[in-house]
């Protein structure tokens, strides 16, 4: 079966712009989580969605937002981009919440210039 698909794979944006990243989970998976990965910081938790509801939010400013649609696809949006937002953004899908294997997508590499 198809894995987790993230689009686009690469993005270059200018400071002050906004960006929307997309994640299509594995068919049948209802939970989607987003992580920001930067060198030396590991995987920083952004959001967790289940059945279109945001279940948890990480310690990120309000410029970071997200949503999940009825087909479990998820988007995250970053407004007023800053240089420090440059990172690999990873999406992970799971069958359900907690105690379960997460499947990661290849990520979207965002560069802010």
Partner 1 sequence: QQPVQSPQAVILREGEDAVINCSSSKALYSVHWYRQKHGEAPVFLMILLKGGEQKGHEKISASFNEKKQQSSLYLTASQLSYSGTYFCGTEIYPGNTPLVFGKGTRLSVIA
Q: Is 35 in the site for partner 1 (CB under 8 A)?
A: yes
State yes or no: residue 43 binds partner 1 (CB under 8 A): yes
Q: If we measure between CA atoms, which residue out of 6, 13, 7, 10 comes closest to residue 84?
A: 13
Distance, in Å, from the CA atom of 9 to the CA atom of 107, rounded to the nearest integer, reads: 6
Using CB under 8 A, which of the segments 19-27, 60-68, 72-80, 96-104 binds partner 1? 96-104
Select the residue interacting with partner 1 from 20, 22, 30, 55 (CB under 8 A): 55
Query: What would the two tokens of residue 49 be?
Result: 């969605």
Prior bond of 54 cis (ω within 30°): no
CB of 96 to partner 1, least distance (A): 8
Q: Considering the complex, what minimum distance in angstroms separates the CB of residue 63 from partner 1?
A: 19
**Binding characters for partner 1, 2-31, by CB under 8 A (x = yes):** --x---------------------------
Distances (CA, A) of 47 to 40, 77, 80: 20, 11, 19
Residues in the chain: 113
Q: Which positions touch partner 1 (CB under 8 A)?
A: 4, 33, 35, 40-45, 48, 55-56, 58, 90, 92, 96-107
């Amino acid at each position: 079966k198809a894995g987790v698909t993230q689009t686009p794979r690469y993005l270059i944006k200018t400071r002050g712009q906004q960006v929307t990243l997309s994640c299509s989970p594995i068919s049948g998976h209802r939970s989607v989580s987003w992580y920001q990965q930067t060198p030396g910081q590991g995987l920083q938790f952004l959001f967790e969605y289940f059945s279109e509801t945001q279940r948890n939010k990480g310690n990120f400013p309000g410029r970071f937002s997200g949503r999940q649609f009825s087909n479990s696809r998820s988007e995250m949006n970053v407004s007023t981009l800053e240089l420090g937002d440059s990172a690999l953004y990873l999406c992970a899908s799971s069958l359900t919440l907690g105690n379960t294997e997460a499947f990661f997508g290849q990520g979207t590499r965002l560069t802010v210039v």
